[in-house]
Every structure is written in C-alpha cells, then in structure tokens.
Amino acid sequence: MLFLIITIGLVFIFSCSKDKDDENPMISISSPIAFQQVIGGDVVNISGTITDNQNIKRITITLRDVINTLVLSTITKSPNKSGSTSYELDVAYPFDDLQMASGQYDFQITVTDGENTTIKYVPILFKEFEKQREGILVIGNSGNLSNIFLLENNFSSSFYTSINGDFIGASIDVYNQQLINVAKSVGNISATDLLLKNELWSVPVSGAPLSPYYTGFYYNNQTTFLGKRNGGVQGYDRYGNPNFTAGTNIGFFMESAFIHNDTYFVMEEKPIVFINSSRISLAWLYSGSNVQQATINSDVKGIYSSTENTLVFLANDVSLNAEVIFYDIPSGGKYSPFNISSLGEIDDCLEVSNGVYLVAANGDVRFVDINNYTTMMYLSGVSGDKIWFDNLENELYVADGSLLSIYDYSTRMLKGSYTHTEDIEEVLFWYNK
C-alpha cells in the first residue's frame, strides 16, 4: 500500500513538472532601431517578431521618459490564439503631443505568455515640435461685449468671435489651446476652444457687489487667479473648477498679482477707502496662507522676479512719477536703488530680459535696466498706453487707443499697424504649444 501511494505521488509531481512552462517569450525588434531620431509629428513603425514555446497571450507597448514616467499612449495586442507560438508585431505609434519635450525616451515592449514575462527596451531620441505662432488675438470691449479679431502673421485681420460681458482680463492657455476670458461685473469666466471657437466651460460672475465683483486678473500655469471686490483671491483650473484661495486684508482687494519662484503668490492690495495705503502681500502658493506684507504708497504697474529673494516693482509714486522698488523677501524691506522719475508716469511696462524692462511713459518707450541702474530711449515720440512683446517673432506691439503698431524689436522699424473696433484692451499671442 505504501509503495502504491509513493508511486502515485511521484507520478503526480512528475506530471505537474511537465505542465509547468519555464521558458520566457522571445522579442526581436527590427524597428525602431536603438537611438533612432524621432521628430514631433512623426509616426514610428514598431515591428518585429514575438515567439514563445507555447502561447503569446498579451503584448504591451509603452513609451517612458528618463524617470520612467509613461508618456503618450499605451498599445496592447492580444493574439488570443491558443497554441500560437509566433506573432509578427507591426503597429504605428504617433508622436502627436505638442507639449512633449526633447530628449531620450524608451519604448518598453512587454510580452507575457500567461506564466512568464519578457521586457525589451528600445531607446529613441526625440526632437520636440517646433514652436510656431498661429496668430494674434486683439480684444476690445464696448462695455457689454468683447470683440475679438485675429491678426495673421502678416497682420491682416479677420473677425474671430465676440463674448458677452464687460472685461477685466484674458489669456491664452497654450497647453490646452484655450482662450480664457474674464468679465469683471457682468458676464462669465469662460474658456473657448481656439480652433473650434466653441465655449468649453463658463462660470457666471456674481452680481454683488456691483463695482465690480472682480478687481484683478492674473493667469499662470493653467490657473486663472481673480481678485474679488469683497476681499480674497479665487483661482480656477483649466476646467473652471475652483483650485486656489487666498485672503486679503479686510477692506482691501487684489488689483495685480505675480507668482515668484513657484513659491509665493504676490499681490498688490488696494484699499476700498482710497485714503488708506496699499499693501504688498505674499502668500504661500500651495496653501494660500499669508506669509508677510508691507505698506506701499505707490501704484504698481509691474511685478517681477530679480533673484530668489528679491522682487522688483515698477510703479508710479504719489506724484505720478515712475519709480523702481526692490522688495527683500527675507526681511520684508523695501528700497529704491536709483531714480527714474524723469520718465514721467508709467502707462505700461514689461520685461524683455532678466532685469531689463521696456516702459511706456510720457509718449516714449524706454529701457530700464536694474542690472546697471540705467535708462535708455527705445522709441521716441511713440504714444502707447499698452505694450506687449512677442519674443518668438521678436516683435513689440504698442496700442494707442484703438490703434495697434507693430515694431521689429531689434531694428525698431515699424512693420505694420491695425485699427480695432474699440480701444484695445488686450493683445494675446497664440502659439501652437
């Protein structure tokens, strides 16, 4: 009897060992080859031969970056043929993400037969899509309607769309190819698909208080930040969902804002009662909690980063003369290292390189350079209440009421002009990425 039990056991063990599959699938990839050059917009053919001694159950193809994060799409093939021991792989893999950065990526081809898994990596070198300008959007507002025209790269114009409501600010979300438009009292916060021109989402502006509900607009990294008349800041994400809140001082509202070093949300707070001084306040970007604040008696026209611990404000003082204010974050102290009051009152300003600003003031456009504490004439006798700079096409846009003049930034030569239906509120550069 004991002999019979041992014999049956040995037969069972032997049978199980015979059924067990110890062989891994084999992967042979003929395309792409290692370190093949791929350009944005390409479709790469992934081909090769997959073999196994018994069965090929599933093939998975992914693309991973240098930190092993999945990018683009995942392709799965399931031959599902019992007993299939060979499979000819032939799939098209599109590189269609406009935002994908240049660098090395690895195709990961994973094959399983149900018991064993084999993984093969094929590195490729990717060159991202070339950044291009699709056009320029010019926005004017009549009080209850924003009229938006599209300027082509040759500055010919065509009607683009109209958006109901008044206007406080607009921006282009290039990552999601959306036009963000915000009303201040009547209308909506809305996103419009740039290509299809259809509204993607909207959030109505509250009717109270009426003068106005929103007081400040700032856009950064797919988030729209809005200052409210009754205090505080509300942020909205790319879908119109609230994603950020920050407080202001009682009786104050945010007029302008800036994100410094991906750490601080910097605000210029204006008082509802104008006899009070304005405030500069800093809040943590990821919590909205207040960090520090200081009083300021000037009207801030531009907020910029100088160093990790230093902010720069271009402003008009109480006498409506231009000034530069440095703000030291560790101490909360302010100082003005040089005088630019001779420029007169600042209408608008922008940064063209680190510490170098263009300032429209008193009928001229001048450079202000905080690196060497100097000013220099850029365009003399050019009236402009708003200015914009396109560093991709190297062009400066100057608006004087409804007239928009376009200059070659390097040569300062006039390249073209455009007259809008109303005074120009905003010029937005539409890029493909």
Write the burial class of residue 275 (CB in 10 Å: 0-12 exposed, 13-18 middle, 19+ buried): exposed
- What pLDDT sits at residue 80? 67
Q: What is the per-residue DSSP string for 260-329?
A: ETTTEEEEEEEESSTTSPEEEEEEETTT--EEEEEEE-SEEEEEEEEETTEEEEEEE-TTS-EEEEEEET
What local confidence, expressed as pLDDT, does residue 268 receive?
98
Q: Are residues 249 and 224 in contact, defined by beta-carbon separation less than 8 angstroms?
A: no
Residue 59 has a pLDDT of 94
Instruction: Identify the structural domains of the chain with CATH numbers, from first to last.
Output: 26-127 (2.60.40.10), 133-431 (2.130.10.10)
pLDDT in tens, 134-148: 999 999 999 899 999
Task: Give how far Cα 387 sits from Cα of 31, 76, 219, 381, Å.
Answer: 51, 51, 17, 14
Q: How far apart are the first and last CA of the chain?
A: 80
For the chain, what percentages of helix, strand and coil (3-state, to nearest 5) are there? 5, 55, 40
Tens of pLDDT along the chain (433 residues) come to 444 444 444 444 444 445 677 788 999 999 999 999 999 999 999 999 999 888 888 999 999 999 999 999 999 998 866 567 889 999 999 999 988 999 999 999 999 988 899 999 999 999 999 999 999 999 999 989 999 999 988 888 999 999 999 999 999 999 999 999 999 999 999 999 999 999 999 999 987 666 799 999 999 999 999 999 999 999 999 999 999 999 999 999 999 999 999 999 999 999 998 778 999 999 999 999 999 999 999 999 999 999 999 999 999 999 999 999 999 999 999 999 999 999 999 999 999 999 999 999 999 999 999 999 999 999 999 989 999 999 999 999 999 999 999 999 999 999 999 999 999 999 999 999 9
Whole-model pTM: value is 0.85
Cα separation, 170 vs 191, in Å, equals 10
